[in-house]
């Protein structure tokens, strides 16, 4: 039962897409277990860049089944666009399956996401405005029951459910937010063109996952977002509405914890964050700007500039524990090329007290002052490195320190966006 979780160890955009694509070559299935089109996972093969929002990052391997499990939420219009975009580029998507039980992001969820963000004013979260919070809210509220992929199979069922939903939603849309009510027929008409494209992919995926595990095939569980965007363990309320942590993979995919035998935590060699919320090692200076430019740190989904800072070893240590990481995959080490020195936060000072792990009391995080360790940088480009021996000694020392902080082995080091720009250990 070799099920492996691939999880972001920071605030998202760690390079999960690239790592998943590499591992997918030997996997029989890649499964997205949570989140929706808020994700933006990039895979680069032979100079061709693919940006995936919903579809698992194994899709470029035609023999690997790609599954969107019940824990994900699906925007049918976005899924249609992604499937068609891939087909235009010669990727058939015949290996894609979407769970009948995944809940559906509807146009009114996207509207509500925007209205809620406006209403939050100065404390807005900076969501991706893809309808994530409102869709997961409807799923858990069950009032009225939210729409699932199975409900998209029949026009009449879908029309009736949209009318039910809007009876309630329109009260909120009109009375709370002063927005015009939505017309059920118009909402149906908006998503109707996507239905013929999406319907053939809807399937009972649980039995497919069971069969793969029973046959001892390698199954990858691809996380979206990152550990500190987790609804329970992230920097609440500046988080997403799902469970990116490795535990979320069991829930989202319906497999037991004993069936997971490896957890690879993907960690960027520095830190980035999009949207609001605490970020102790953030650099609002030339060094931070340099990381953003060299690392092309602009959101895959929203195009927003990502906030940048030094590696946060406190976050890394905490993430390794929260996810039960068995290994880390280090990404974007090449972005640190050319710096005289590099810094890693090894602890926080919070009101005079040293913390080696993220405090559980998240309000304290706002006062966290990073305690830095300074390491020598390296001057040469490492993007051609393919073995550990190709890396300069200073870069190897940096990786060793990351390994110590995480408390588990390094699986590999990524030195560029391409599939082949990887040092496998
Ligand atoms: P994800 O959401 O975790 O899959 O990460 P994103 O795709 O949003 O962001 C990672 C970005 O960094 C993408 O543009 C990747 O192509 C790129 N990338 C991944 N690994 C490396 C690397 O080792 N070096 C460099 N320079 N870029 C990388
Ligand atoms: P990948 O999978 C980085 C952030 C948003 C916002 C917060 C809540 O590419 O790593 P949401 O739309 O989910 O309600 O927004 O979470 N966020 C991400 N940041 N990478 C992501 O995905 C993200 N998905 C959501 O910026 O701060
Ligand atoms: Mg991303």
What does the pLDDT read at residue 1?
Answer: 53
**Three-state secondary structure call for residue 386:** coil
Beta bridge partners of 264: 6, 327
Q: How far is the CA of 39 from the centre of ligand 3 (A)?
A: 5
Q: Are residues 152 and 222 in the same domain?
A: no
Cα 18 to Cα 46, 103, 340, 413: the distances in Å are: 13, 27, 28, 11
Write the burial class of residue 376 (CB in 10 Å: 0-12 exposed, 13-18 middle, 19+ buried).
middle
- Tell me if 56 sits within 8 A of 74, measured CB to CB: no
State which of 15, 40, 297, 332 you would mutate to test the pocket of ligand 1, scoring each by most atoms of that ligand within 8 A of its C-beta: 15
CATH number of the domain that residue 335 is part of: 3.90.170.10
- Record the pTM: 0.98
Rounded Cα gap, residues 170 and 177, in angstroms = 10
What does the pLDDT read at residue 2?
Answer: 87
* Range of the structural domain that residue 171 is part of: 103-199
Domain termination site, one of 199, 233, 268: 199
Q: Are residues 79 and 194 in the same domain?
A: no
Q: Are residues 297 and 351 in the same domain?
A: yes
Is residue 230, in this structure, part of any structural domain at all?
Answer: yes
Q: Are residues 283 and 324 in the same domain?
A: yes
Q: Are residues 270 and 412 in the same domain?
A: yes
Mean pLDDT, the chain cut into blocks of 10 residues (425 residues total): 92 98 97 98 97 98 98 98 98 98 98 98 97 98 93 98 97 97 98 98 96 96 98 97 98 96 98 96 97 95 94 98 98 98 98 95 92 98 98 98 98 98 95
What does the pLDDT read at residue 164?
Answer: 96
CATH number of the domain that residue 187 is part of: 1.10.300.10
Is residue 417, in this structure, part of any structural domain at all?
Answer: yes
| Closest of 226, 298, 307 to residue 19, by C-alpha | 226
Task: Please provide the DSSP assignment of 255-294 as one string.
Answer: --GGGEEEEEEEEESSEEE-SSS--TTB--SHHHHHHHHH
Rounded Cα gap, residues 164 and 173, in angstroms = 14
| Closest of 236, 332, 244, 333 to residue 276, by C-alpha | 236
Q: Are residues 231 and 352 in the same domain?
A: yes
What does the pLDDT read at residue 143?
Answer: 86
Domain termination site, one of 136, 167, 199: 199
Is residue 97, in this structure, part of any structural domain at all?
Answer: no
Q: Are residues 354 and 401 in the same domain?
A: yes
Please name the residues in contact with 256: beta carbons below 8 A apart, sequence gap of 6 or more. 250
Rounded Cα gap, residues 265 and 411, in angstroms = 9
Q: Is 15 near ligand 1, meaning CB less than 6 Å away?
A: yes
Q: Are residues 182 and 221 in the same domain?
A: no
Is residue 133, in this structure, part of any structural domain at all?
Answer: yes
State which of 229, 277, 332 you would mutate to test the pocket of ligand 2, scoring each by most atoms of that ligand within 8 A of its C-beta: 229
Is residue 98, in this structure, part of any structural domain at all?
Answer: no
Rounded Cα gap, residues 205 and 257, in angstroms = 18
Q: Are residues 114 and 173 in the same domain?
A: yes
Beta bridge partners of 328: 265, 410
Tokens of 45: 């093969």
Q: Is 40 near ligand 1, meaning CB less than 6 Å away?
A: yes
Q: Are residues 150 and 290 in the same domain?
A: no
Q: Are residues 78 and 175 in the same domain?
A: no
Is residue 322, in this structure, part of any structural domain at all?
Answer: yes
HSE value, Cβ hemisphere, 13 Å, CA-based, for 347:
9
Pocket of ligand 2 (CB under 6 A): 8, 12-13, 38-41, 125-128, 130, 132-133, 224-226, 229, 238, 240-241, 274-275, 300
Number of domains in the chain: 2
Is residue 112, in this structure, part of any structural domain at all?
Answer: yes
Domain termination site, one of 199, 224, 249: 199
Q: Are residues 208 and 354 in the same domain?
A: yes
Please name the residues in contact with 157: beta carbons below 8 A apart, sequence gap of 6 or more. 151
Is residue 38, in this structure, part of any structural domain at all?
Answer: yes
């Amino acid at each position: 039962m070799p099920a492996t979780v691939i999880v972001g160890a920071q605030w998202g955009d760690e390079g999960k897409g690239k790592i998943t694509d590499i591992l997918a070559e030997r996997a029989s299935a890649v499964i997205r277990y949570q989140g929706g089109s808020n994700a933006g996972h990039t895979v680069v093969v032979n100079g061709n860049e693919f940006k995936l929002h919903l579809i698992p990052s194994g899709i470029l391997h035609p023999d690997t089944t790609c599954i969107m499990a019940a824990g994900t939420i699906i925007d049918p219009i976005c899924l249609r666009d992604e499937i068609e975009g891939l087909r235009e580029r010669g990727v058939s998507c015949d290996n894609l399956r979407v769970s009948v039980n995944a809940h559906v992001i509807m146009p009114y969820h996207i509207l509500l996401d925007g209205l809620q963000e406006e209403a939050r004013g100065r404390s807005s979260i900076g969501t991706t405005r893809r309808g994530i919070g409102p869709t997961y809210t409807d799923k858990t509220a069950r009032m009225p029951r939210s729409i699932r992929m199975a409900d998209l199979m029949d026009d009449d069922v879908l029309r009736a459910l949209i009318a039910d939903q809007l009876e309630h939603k329109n009260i909120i849309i009109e009375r709370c937010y002063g927005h015009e009510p939505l017309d059920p027929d118009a909402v149906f008409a908006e998503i109707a063109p996507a239905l013929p494209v999406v319907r053939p992919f809807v399937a009972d995926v649980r039995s497919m996952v069971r069969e793969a595990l029973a046959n001892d095939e390698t199954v990858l569980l691809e996380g979206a977002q990152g550990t500190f965007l987790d609804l329970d363990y992230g920097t609440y309320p500046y988080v997403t509405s799902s469970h990116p942590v490795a535990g979320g993979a069991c829930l989202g995919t319906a497999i037991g914890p004993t069936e997971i035998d490896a957890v690879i935590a993907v960690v960027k060699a520095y830190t980035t964050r999009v949207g609001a919320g605490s970020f102790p090692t953030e650099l609002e200076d030339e060094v931070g700007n340099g990381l953003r430019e060299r690392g092309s740190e602009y959101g895959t989904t929203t195009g927003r500039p990502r906030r940048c800072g030094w590696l946060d070893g406190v976050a890394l240590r905490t993430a390794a524990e929260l996810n039960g990481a068995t290994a880390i995959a280090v990404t974007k080490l090449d972005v640190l090329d050319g710096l005289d020195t590099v810094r890693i936060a090894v602890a926080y000072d919070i009101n005079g007290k040293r913390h080696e792990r993220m405090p559980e009391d998240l309000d304290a995080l706002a006062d966290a002052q990073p305690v830095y360790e300074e390491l020598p940088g390296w001057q040469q480009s490492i993007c051609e490195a393919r073995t550990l021996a190709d890396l300069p000694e200073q870069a190897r020392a940096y990786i060793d320190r990351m390994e110590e902080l995480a408390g588990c082995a390094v699986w590999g080091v990524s030195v560029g966006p391409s599939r082949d720009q990887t040092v496998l250990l």
